[in-house]
Amino acid sequence: MKTIKVVMASILFAGITSCGDDKKEQEKLDHTLDAIESVEQDIDETIDKVEKKSEEVEAALKELDNL
Amino acid sequence: MKYTYKIITMFVVLLAMSGTSIQAQGKSQDKVKGKKEKLKKTKKDVEDEVEDYQEKAGEIEDKTKKVKEKSKDRVKGKKEKIKKEGDDEDYDLGDDDFEVKEEVSNEENGDKKLKKEREKGNKGNGYGRDKGEMSGEEFGNMRASMAKEKIEKSEKSFDENEETLKKGRVKVKEAKERVQKQREEEVFDEEVLEKKEEKIRKAEEKLNELEDVIKKGKEKVKSSSEEIEKVITPVE
């Protein structure tokens, strides 16, 4: 009876610990993904800005062809 | 007498047993009936909910259509306004016209951004948060490597635009020389030459702006790259 109790307790402990680990891992992953997504968004915005400005430059340079 | 007593006892026992089985049958029939009713009720509830959602979806779709039509009309109206009021040459436009032009391009850009966001939303595993059968660490690293690819792509874009910048500077220099020559040879009126110089100034201004945007962009990408490196953890 005592042995069964010990085994049950250890199973319960292992279960609780693994649940805690999963939660921690998920939090860490969420943090990582947030950081990555924000970086990606920054890069997208930067590229958009550069492309837009480049288009403006090309249009302005085209005007110089007719001088 | 003894047999009669036995027969009566057996009869009573049989009667009692049959009564119990009938009762049990009745109970089980009631149970089945109850379950059926419950099932019907649940089915009806679900159907009602589906109908509600369908109605809501229809309303949202109508609203989206209306907003789209409105924005299209606005863009169309503004474009026509620019066409009517504006001259072919940009330097003849007033400040208000520039604002309208910018608004139009902003709205168009807004549409593009919306599309991009929708596309992003549909990209699934890679762009979402569903890691499938991967571990958190593996998935995080995979996303980080995707972001790194994006960084490399942005660096390529910077290189290309720097090339445009260089070519533009040469073009401006050549144009300046050409106008100078025209002034010396007195081929054109002073007014025409001034307009040409204005165009050159505008191009130069745009080139400076592009240089500035590239410089800032490079700094941002550098810091983003460092951030990604911090986020990545080695897989064992």
* Nearest CB neighbour to A57, from listed B129, B153, B168: B168
Query: CA B174: distance to chain centroid?
Result: 44
Q: How confident is the model at residue B9 (pLDDT cuts 50, 70, 90)?
A: confident
What percentage of chain B has pLDDT greater than the value 70? 57
- The angle, 0 to 180 degrees and rounded to 10, between the axes of the packed helices B136-185 and A2-65 is 10
Q: How confident is the model at residue A2 (pLDDT cuts 50, 70, 90)?
A: confident
Q: How confident is the model at residue B36 (pLDDT cuts 50, 70, 90)?
A: confident
The answer to whether residue B174 scores a pLDDT higher than 70 is yes
Question: What's the pLDDT score for residue B170?
Answer: 95
Mean pLDDT within B228-232? 79
Greatest CA separation for chain B: 152
The answer to whether residue B156 scores a pLDDT higher than 50 is yes
Contacts 24+ apart (CB under 8 A), B84-89: B89/B195
Q: Which residues of B102-130 are buried (b: 16+ CB within 10 A; e: fewer)?
A: eebeeeeeeeeeeeeeeeeeeeeeebeee
Between B203 and B82, the more confident residue is B203
Is A57's Cβ below 8 Å from some Cβ in B? yes
Mean per-residue pLDDT over chain B, rounded: 72
Question: What's the pLDDT score for residue B38?
Answer: 75
Rounded to whole angstroms, how far apart are CA atoms B98 and B82? Answer: 9
Residue B50 backbone phi and psi in degrees, to 5 = -60, -45
| Start-to-end C-alpha separation, chain A | 100
Rounded to whole angstroms, how far apart are CA atoms B175 and B167? Answer: 12
Q: Which helix (H) or strand (E) holds B159?
A: helix B136-185
Q: Which stretch, B123-132, B142-151, B198-207, B219-228, has highest mean pLDDT?
A: B198-207
Is A53's Cβ below 8 Å from some Cβ in B? yes
Question: What's the pLDDT score for residue A49?
Answer: 93
Rounded to whole angstroms, how far apart are CA atoms A5 and B225? Answer: 53
Rounded to whole angstroms, how far apart are CA atoms B196 and B202? Answer: 10
Yes or no, beta carbons of A51 and B206 under 8 Å apart = no
Between B55 and B148, the more confident residue is B148
Domain spans of chain B, in order of start = 143-236
Yes or no, beta carbons of B143 and A36 under 8 Å apart = yes
* Nearest CB neighbour to B209, from listed A47, A51, A53: A53
- Using alpha carbons, list the distances in angstroms from residue B11 to B14, B21, B49, B57, B139: 5, 15, 57, 68, 76
Q: Which stretch, A17-26, A29-38, B66-75, B160-169, has highest mean pLDDT?
A: B160-169
Question: What's the pLDDT score for residue A59?
Answer: 94
Question: What's the pLDDT score for residue A58?
Answer: 94
Question: What's the pLDDT score for residue B115?
Answer: 47
* Residue of A30, A50, A51 for testing the chain B interface, max B β-carbons within 10 Å: A50
For the segment A6-57, what is each residue's pLDDT rounded down to a tens digit?
A: 888 888 888 888 777 778 888 888 888 898 999 899 999 999 999 999 999 9
Q: How confident is the model at residue B121 (pLDDT cuts 50, 70, 90)?
A: very low
Contacts with A57 from chain B: Cβ below 8 Å: 164-165, 168, 203, 206-207, 209-210
For the segment B39-58, what is each residue's pLDDT rounded down to a tens digit?
A: 777 777 767 776 776 777 67
Distance from CA of B144 to the nearest CA of A (A): 6
Rounded to whole angstroms, how far apart are CA atoms B221 and B231? Answer: 15
Is A33's Cβ below 8 Å from some Cβ in B? yes
Question: What's the pLDDT score for residue B102?
Answer: 43
* Nearest CB neighbour to A64, from listed B171, B217, B221: B171
DSSP letter, residue B132: T
Is A36's Cβ below 8 Å from some Cβ in B? yes
What percentage of chain B has pLDDT greater than the value 90? 28
* Nearest CB neighbour to B178, from listed A25, A63, A67: A67
The answer to whether residue B105 scores a pLDDT higher than 60 is no
Contacts with B203 from chain A: Cβ below 8 Å: 57, 60-61, 63-64
Mean pLDDT within B17-29? 54
Is A64's Cβ below 8 Å from some Cβ in B? yes
Distance from CA of B80 to the nearest CA of A (A): 21
Question: What's the pLDDT score for residue B51?
Answer: 78
